[in-house]
Amino acid sequence: MFRHQKELQFEVKVDRPDPVFARQVQEVLGGQFGEMTVMMQYLFQGFNCRGEEKYKDMLMDIGTEEIGHVEMLCALISQLLDGATPAEQQKAAEDPVTAAIMGGINPQHLLVSGLGGLPTNSNGVPWNGSYIVASGNLLADMRSNLHAESQGRLQVARLYHMTTDEGVRATLRKMLARDRYHQYQWMAAIQELEEKNGVVVPASFPPEAEQESQPEAYEFWNLSEGTESGEGLWAKGSAPDGTGNFVYISNPVPKGQIYEPLIPATELHHDLNGETIEK
Amino acid sequence: MFRHQKELQFEVKVDRPDPVFARQVQEVLGGQFGEMTVMMQYLFQGFNCRGEEKYKDMLMDIGTEEIGHVEMLCALISQLLDGATPAEQQKAAEDPVTAAIMGGINPQHLLVSGLGGLPTNSNGVPWNGSYIVASGNLLADMRSNLHAESQGRLQVARLYHMTTDEGVRATLRKMLARDRYHQYQWMAAIQELEEKNGVVVPASFPPEAEQESQPEAYEFWNLSEGTESGEGLWAKGSAPDGTGNFVYISNPVPKGQIYEPLIPATELHHDLNGETIEK
Amino acid sequence: MFRHQKELQFEVKVDRPDPVFARQVQEVLGGQFGEMTVMMQYLFQGFNCRGEEKYKDMLMDIGTEEIGHVEMLCALISQLLDGATPAEQQKAAEDPVTAAIMGGINPQHLLVSGLGGLPTNSNGVPWNGSYIVASGNLLADMRSNLHAESQGRLQVARLYHMTTDEGVRATLRKMLARDRYHQYQWMAAIQELEEKNGVVVPASFPPEAEQESQPEAYEFWNLSEGTESGEGLWAKGSAPDGTGNFVYISNPVPKGQIYEPLIPATELHHDLNGETIEK
Amino acid sequence: MFRHQKELQFEVKVDRPDPVFARQVQEVLGGQFGEMTVMMQYLFQGFNCRGEEKYKDMLMDIGTEEIGHVEMLCALISQLLDGATPAEQQKAAEDPVTAAIMGGINPQHLLVSGLGGLPTNSNGVPWNGSYIVASGNLLADMRSNLHAESQGRLQVARLYHMTTDEGVRATLRKMLARDRYHQYQWMAAIQELEEKNGVVVPASFPPEAEQESQPEAYEFWNLSEGTESGEGLWAKGSAPDGTGNFVYISNPVPKGQIYEPLIPATELHHDLNGETIEK
Amino acid sequence: MFRHQKELQFEVKVDRPDPVFARQVQEVLGGQFGEMTVMMQYLFQGFNCRGEEKYKDMLMDIGTEEIGHVEMLCALISQLLDGATPAEQQKAAEDPVTAAIMGGINPQHLLVSGLGGLPTNSNGVPWNGSYIVASGNLLADMRSNLHAESQGRLQVARLYHMTTDEGVRATLRKMLARDRYHQYQWMAAIQELEEKNGVVVPASFPPEAEQESQPEAYEFWNLSEGTESGEGLWAKGSAPDGTGNFVYISNPVPKGQIYEPLIPATELHHDLNGETIEK
Amino acid sequence: MFRHQKELQFEVKVDRPDPVFARQVQEVLGGQFGEMTVMMQYLFQGFNCRGEEKYKDMLMDIGTEEIGHVEMLCALISQLLDGATPAEQQKAAEDPVTAAIMGGINPQHLLVSGLGGLPTNSNGVPWNGSYIVASGNLLADMRSNLHAESQGRLQVARLYHMTTDEGVRATLRKMLARDRYHQYQWMAAIQELEEKNGVVVPASFPPEAEQESQPEAYEFWNLSEGTESGEGLWAKGSAPDGTGNFVYISNPVPKGQIYEPLIPATELHHDLNGETIEK
């Protein structure tokens, strides 16, 4: 069960409204790597967690924090939109320059939300559940979390340069700090889990079943012309878990057959000539 | 520019058709972490790559390989569907047990694709572009790639136990091996990049701008009751890059204000009583 | 079966083209609460109606009217786009102000529809079937209809202030009038249905099954700090159907357990240490 | 800012696992009217609220409660899935009846979430942000809330009859009770707001602008053959706010013109013969 | 403006309910090529038509007919669902065979629509506006229409074999007949338009601008190993409009450069080493 | 299996960056009829092809070529974005005209892709799998292909007029040439298939089953007022395959019944008064 406190986690004060910038901020609220994503991802991982209590508790701590980040971004967007009105759009029709600036506004900030944050990205595409994952495998999911915080912090950093409003920037700095901590946090969790289970996900697939395909687990296939790819760590040396050495296949040859499909029954109406073969 | 060879990368032969299993396999073809995802993700990362040539070349090598994995899975699904016909569905109406089994089939495998693979997941949801990312930041993207291969291999491993068909299993074993290698590969790339740039994405955000929020970059906020989360590596010790020590905040207090929004102009029709204040 | 008359339901004449405004109008054509939504919602409710004939007939009357509203909005958008051409975009590259205004245009109005209305909202997101509902329960659905007409009329009212074109405004006034009537209409239908069945949806759930949880049906849980919520009608007095009195729980305590999930079988590859317990 | 308590709001205990039923429960978790919808809708309405404090506080109370309902449903689904394994699917291949039952399972409960709740509906379609609305107009939004609780309670009631598991039913009874209260709650709020502002949304549109279209605000257009629709309250009597009397137009005649669009410029490549007229 | 007649265009009577088949029928109602698609596509093409009146009138005739087809399919699905109840699902829990059959039902037919048609496909994916096109170019659009009727009729034909219910089959036969006519209709329209404008869309692109790339307009690039593709009409002989002869390039060589992108500004945080070059 | 060559198929060089135009180009990369669509459509048709080898080989040739077109468009967009930075957005806040122009940029080109192409259309809507079809019926699919190339070339032609950059135009001319050839190619394939199988898809539906509805296969129903539609080839003369003559029904009368649905069981909670009839 959850509870709400009226204070925001960090202060959100905007020096002056900027409805065009409000549109850009939507990316880090309702975009692929926005706060809605990390909030829902950590909550679902926590709700479904079947691992040790410390992981579940930690996921619930951070998932709960992220609900408050969605709250902060809505407060930020609302302030950026303060004072924007349909009438300004109307006046814009008379002054071409203003008109043009208003053209960069998200029309839904006026028409749909009445000057509030939307559950959508910077192009107005609604947030959706396929942005998140909660697989039950802790290592896989924490790699996902590290990746989400990396993309999220990258976007906040880019956004930071798109405004000179010191109020906005102060809020973004708090988010950059938290995203920094959250990257550390997932790295630490990953380190723990890799030490226990090994680095390959999932760790528990029966090794004997992998025996047969052992060579293919260490081969780099050079399928794009040029051999610059041979210069990376992935192409020489040994696997991080020391189970084998990498092999660079410069001229890879396919190992499979040419697949020749059966002709389906007439009822599927492929309308082919010749023999119809039903298996 | 690309070229196609008729042979599949690895052999795909199914011992006997199994249209219900064909539905499950769709997850690793057109699902969130299926082969379409890694194919499109690596290709877009490669096409857009503005980094060193060895990264671009490597991304093109593996992106090109993944197109062939989509090809293999279509061949697998086609074979699993061989012989499934509308007439079997009709006969099923007479035998309740068969009818019931046919109820587990993806109806689009008959109606839409005529016994072929679909660009959708195991529930028929179409693949979409928001499954992928190509941000230009190599470290962020390679963390995404490691995560995608982790989730993908996890799903293939789970799928493996859902069939006893030795032909299918042989194909899945090749995919497990390649997913193992691809995890190693991204780990190696990540190791290189972290050594050069540091572990936090993005590395180039000006440190002076982070000064002010320095404390918040090392704090764990315990927002879910219980302190089991204090037992993890993320709660004690120091950051992976040695820039600070973690602080566990047991009873966190919000640092922000209670946000009191302005009343918007009448034209937005919030229909509030009292004074209308326009900023 | 349906028939079409060539005349529009109401006159649609635009004083002068305005391609930027055409983009905004898309919200009330193909957005969440646009005319496509009410058209499809009323038609599906009518097609599926298993209630008294008067409801079905009424739904078909209004659903049929709404097809004509989609027609009117397409005529409106087409006229707003009249004369917009790719060449203007080209000229725009030379004059920064014009260029900027053109930047506010929906590019699909040129590229995709060739100056016609699109089945999308003001941000170009395609209309989809999850905007509508037809549940079979008349009271539930008519509440949905009242809500859709409320949101829809609100958006048209906001849009009205974003233009000074008298031709456009005359069309919007007709839509505002119809949306007013349609709100009355659903209120009247709701009044009838509530008098017959009671105010809670669904009315027919067996009361004995609700006995046990009777208290929870009248409690307000104060889960956000502060007790301003105690001042509303929902917190004091009695239920609209007189079946009980509201109770304001100032300091709610959870009534459930701490959920401790089972560890799943190894084959699910959660990769946990310790005992694996299969139920 | 938010906090989490470990106890669930109400007890969630399942008598025996039932993975097929777990699939159906997804509808009220991640469907159009599931708990994710009311949670996100109330939170966004609360975050963006520019009205009196008592509305904002109330929205935050109930939005916060709904986060806990998502938590409860995840606990319910996890328990319904306990013990489901890929191996059972494999065994199913041998026993046709079991195989058939397993065919009704959501494959993503095994492959994607590893026996946890998913942010999707009963057909696996991901939850998305266009399920919700927060318009800033309190009356419009509370009508939406009443409607959502009506559809949601209807679905839970239908679901109730699809299981005989007493544990599950006890949980569903709590949800039915809360959905009953929440319907009362929105009705009470609506009553307050209608008394203050009037029944038509939005109330603040300038009456003089509506003058011209006054007749169309009270007319029922009989566009579907048959006049059964004339028997309802919406067709006779007066508007709920007493501003006029309803008129039933039995044989409605269109009032608009036949729209004759202009031929667009050649550059749009409509490829028409005859004169090209650019406005 | 539109009107509705109570009679269905053709009789829809089902011999006996079949809720599993109801799920399959959804494909031709709300799927990519279902009746909702042709209805909305022809209506939008008609509403936006800027061509000769005979095309607009014809599009409105057929678009209006298709609304009635959506109506017919809803009647078909309703009848297939008659008598399906949650209680049957409950009884199913006791009889494994029945349970299994019920597993093939679309759960939303019970939970969401209460035994009515849904605006979704056979897997429950909502219909969306990107299934349709209305480009303004008549030839392009009528090719789209011919294609939609081809896919649609193919699906109905496949569906036909999945039932033995004579009532259902009689309805499907009417749809097959109309889809046959509609294919003829678009072919006839295409023939007219190709005779006037030529076979390549769009016809009006200035020929001088195409001069430079003239060779590439007639070349087949053999980019997949093997030369079986050389046996088709597309590889030998001349273009349908007699403007050139096809050339089969057996060993195609790329004509473009190796693209070397610029390094972006630091603010984009690609985190590259070495020189940062801003253009 | 696939291979990649570093050279682009055709040269892609841009005279000067133009980030607003980069947004428009996204339509032909990731839109409904963009290069991602034809790439994925031809590849899936090829992978699933159960017809003669020459069709499969041809589909693989052209599908493989289209991967290279996606590559070219990414190179085009990257060059159009060269030099765009968040700092320019910041400067824009000072100069209204520049600000306005920047308002026409896709914010995701800065925030998400870091100056690279995105798998989305010109409004930022992600590409999705329901844009494509691979039905197994060659004639149906090649009609789809002809249609896709027609819409695609139309969009490129419109785009051509929206820029004066000679570098961009040279690239677009190559695409126009290839789209011309691809239209010829599908026409040729269609001609072959129609000669073998007949013009109606599918050809193999048993003629005796169509006997009963023979009249409806040749009737034009005039459901929109006015008889201009009687002037087209589709209304007079005979079917393209000579199997019958068209009949123009000026005043069509419905042939079906008025559908009267059954009242569902109480458990579905339609909450109707009167008798409950279960079938």
pLDDT at B216: 95
CB contact at 8 A, F170 and E177: no
CB contact at 8 A, A27 and C247: no
DSSP state of D189: H
Q: How would you label B8-41 residue by residue, b for 16+ Cβ within 10 Å and e otherwise?
A: bbbbbbbeebbbbbbbbbbbbbbbbbbbbbbbbb
pLDDT at A215: 92
| Distance of alpha carbon E224 from alpha carbon F61, whole angstroms | 5
Separation in Å, CA A18 to CA A23, A168, D43, F111: 9, 10, 24, 18
Residue of A24, A261, A268 with shortest CB distance to F107: A24
Using a 10 angstrom Cβ sphere, with 0-12 exposed, 13-18 middle and 19 or more buried, the burial of residue B246 is: buried
Question: pTM to 2 decimals?
Answer: 0.96
Using a 10 angstrom Cβ sphere, with 0-12 exposed, 13-18 middle and 19 or more buried, the burial of residue A253 is: exposed
Contact yes or no for B154 and C269 at CB 8 A: yes
Residue A68 CB neighbour total at 10 angstroms: 24
Number of Cα atoms under 13 Å in the Cβ half of residue B86: 25
Contact yes or no for F119 and B126 at CB 8 A: no
| Distance of alpha carbon A63 from alpha carbon A70, whole angstroms | 11
Residue A1 lies in a domain: no
A226 and A122 within one domain: no
Backbone angles phi and psi of D238, in degrees to 5: -120, 165
B219-221 vs B247-249, strand pairing mode: parallel
Residue A7 lies in a domain: no
| Distance of alpha carbon C166 from alpha carbon C15, whole angstroms | 7
Residue D3 lies in a domain: no
| Distance of alpha carbon E178 from alpha carbon C135, whole angstroms | 30
Residue E223 CB neighbour total at 10 angstroms: 25
pLDDT score of E211 more than 80: yes
Instruction: Find the CATH number of the domain harbouring E218.
Output: 3.30.1530.10
CB contact at 8 A, C261 and A50: yes
Closest to B191 (Cα-Cα) out of A233, A186, A238: A233
| CA–CA–CA angle D171, D174, D176 (5° rounding) | 110
Q: What percent of chain F shows pLDDT beyond 70?
A: 91
pLDDT at D99: 66
E115 and E74 within one domain: yes
C127/chain B closest Cα distance in angstroms: 16
A264 and A184 within one domain: no
| Distance of alpha carbon A22 from alpha carbon A13, whole angstroms | 14
Strands (E), D73-210: none
Give Rg (Cα) of chain D. 26
In three-state secondary structure terms, C269 is coil
D151/chain E closest Cα distance in angstroms: 8
B214 and B126 within one domain: no
Chain B residues touching C154 at Cβ < 8 A: 269
| Distance of alpha carbon E251 from alpha carbon E224, whole angstroms | 10
> Per the omega criterion (within 30 degrees of 0), is the bond before C202 cis?
yes
Give Rg (Cα) of chain B. 26
DSSP letters, C67-129, are: HHHHHHHHHHHHHHHTT--HHHHHHHTTSHHHHHHHTTS-HHHHHTSSSS--SB-TT-PBPBG
Strands (E), F190-265: 219-221, 247-249
Residue D90 lies in a domain: yes
pLDDT at C237: 85
Residue the block writes with tokens 């009410």? C38
pLDDT at C279: 33
Q: Where are the alpha helices (DSSP H) in B34-95?
A: 35-48, 53-81, 86-92
pLDDT score of F200 more than 70: yes
pLDDT at D279: 33
Number of Cα atoms under 13 Å in the Cβ half of residue E207: 4
Which residues, in sequence order, are bridge partners of residue A219? A247
Number of domains present in the structure of chain E = 2
Q: Is E63 marked as a binding-site residue?
A: no
Using the Cβ of F148 and the Cβ atoms of chain B, whether some distance falls under 8 Å is answered with: no
pLDDT in tens, chain D (279 residues): 999 999 999 999 999 999 999 999 999 999 999 999 999 999 999 999 998 899 999 999 999 999 999 999 999 999 999 977 766 666 655 666 666 677 789 999 999 999 999 999 999 999 999 999 999 999 999 999 999 999 999 999 999 999 999 999 999 999 999 999 999 999 999 999 999 999 999 999 998 888 888 899 999 999 999 999 999 999 998 999 999 999 999 999 999 999 999 999 888 999 985 444 333
E164 and E37 within one domain: yes
Residue B31 lies in a domain: yes
Helix (H) or strand (E) holding D28, with range, is: helix D19-30
Boundaries of domain holding A260: 205-279
The more confident residue out of C98 and D35 is D35
ipTM for the predicted complex: 0.94
Residue of F104, F163, F264 with shortest CB distance to C50: F264
CB contact at 8 A, D194 and C187: no
Instruction: Find the CATH number of the domain harbouring C29.
Output: 1.20.1260.10
F32 and F145 within one domain: yes
Which of B75-84, F12-21, F70-79 holds the top average pLDDT? F70-79
E228 and E173 within one domain: no
Cβ within 8 Å of residue B208, ≥6 positions away:
none
Segment C128-147, tens digit of pLDDT: 999 999 999 999 999 999 99
pLDDT at A96: 65
Among chain F residues, the shortest Cα distance to C3 is held by F223
pLDDT at F212: 86
> Per the omega criterion (within 30 degrees of 0), is the bond before A202 cis?
yes
Q: How would you label F65-88 residue by residue, b for 16+ Cβ within 10 Å and e otherwise?
A: bbbbbbbbbbbbbbbbbbbbbbeb
Q: Is F149 marked as a binding-site residue?
A: yes
Segment E4-33, tens digit of pLDDT: 999 999 999 999 999 999 999 999 999 999
Helix (H) or strand (E) holding A113, with range, is: none
Among chain D residues, the shortest Cα distance to C252 is held by D9
Chain C residues touching E65 at Cβ < 8 A: 1-2
At residue F275 the predicted structure's pLDDT band, cuts being 50, 70 and 90, is very low
Which residues, in sequence order, are bridge partners of residue A248? A220
Residue D13 lies in a domain: no
Residue A215 CB neighbour total at 10 angstroms: 11
Using the Cβ of C242 and the Cβ atoms of chain D, whether some distance falls under 8 Å is answered with: no
Out of E197, E230, E249, a domain closes at E197
Q: How would you label F203-225 residue by residue, b for 16+ Cβ within 10 Å and e otherwise?
A: bbbeeeebeebeebbbbbbbbbb
- In this structure, what token pair is assigned to residue F265? 């069981």
Segment F44-58, tens digit of pLDDT: 999 999 988 999 999
Residue F209 lies in a domain: no
DSSP state of F216: G
Using the Cβ of C8 and the Cβ atoms of chain E, whether some distance falls under 8 Å is answered with: yes
F231 and F178 within one domain: no
Residue D278 lies in a domain: yes
Residue the block writes with tokens 């149906």? F140
> Per the omega criterion (within 30 degrees of 0), is the bond before D202 cis?
yes
Contact yes or no for D267 and F158 at CB 8 A: yes
In three-state secondary structure terms, B90 is helix
At residue B51 the predicted structure's pLDDT band, cuts being 50, 70 and 90, is confident
DSSP state of B236: S
| Distance of alpha carbon D251 from alpha carbon D232, whole angstroms | 18
Backbone angles phi and psi of A126, in degrees to 5: -60, 140
Using a 10 angstrom Cβ sphere, with 0-12 exposed, 13-18 middle and 19 or more buried, the burial of residue F23 is: buried
Chain D residues touching C216 at Cβ < 8 A: 10, 174, 177-178, 181
At residue E45 the predicted structure's pLDDT band, cuts being 50, 70 and 90, is very high
First to last CA, chain D: 56
B132 and B173 within one domain: yes
pLDDT at F84: 74
> Which residues numbered 87-126 in E keep a CB inside 8 Å of some CB on B?
97-98, 100-101, 103-105, 121-125
pLDDT at F97: 65
CB contact at 8 A, A108 and A120: yes
DSSP state of B33: T
Number of Cα atoms under 13 Å in the Cβ half of residue F55: 24
Q: Is F195 marked as a binding-site residue?
A: no
Segment F201-250, tens digit of pLDDT: 999 999 888 888 889 999 999 999 999 999 999 999 899 999 999 999 99
Using the Cβ of E232 and the Cβ atoms of chain F, whether some distance falls under 8 Å is answered with: yes
pLDDT at A100: 65
Out of E197, E214, E231, a domain closes at E197
F96/chain E closest Cα distance in angstroms: 22
Amino acid at D80: L
E182 and E64 within one domain: yes
Contact yes or no for F267 and E173 at CB 8 A: no
Among chain A residues, the shortest Cα distance to B90 is held by A267
In three-state secondary structure terms, E234 is coil
B219 and B143 within one domain: no
Cβ within 8 Å of residue A192, ≥6 positions away:
B232, B233
Contact yes or no for C240 and D188 at CB 8 A: yes
Closest to F43 (Cα-Cα) out of F190, F145, F183: F145
C237 and C144 within one domain: no
Amino acid at A4: H
Helix (H) or strand (E) holding D150, with range, is: helix D138-160
- In this structure, what token pair is assigned to residue D130? 């266009």
In three-state secondary structure terms, C225 is coil
| Distance of alpha carbon B44 from alpha carbon B26, whole angstroms | 22
First to last CA, chain E: 56
Out of C197, C221, C253, a domain closes at C197
Q: Is A95 marked as a binding-site residue?
A: no
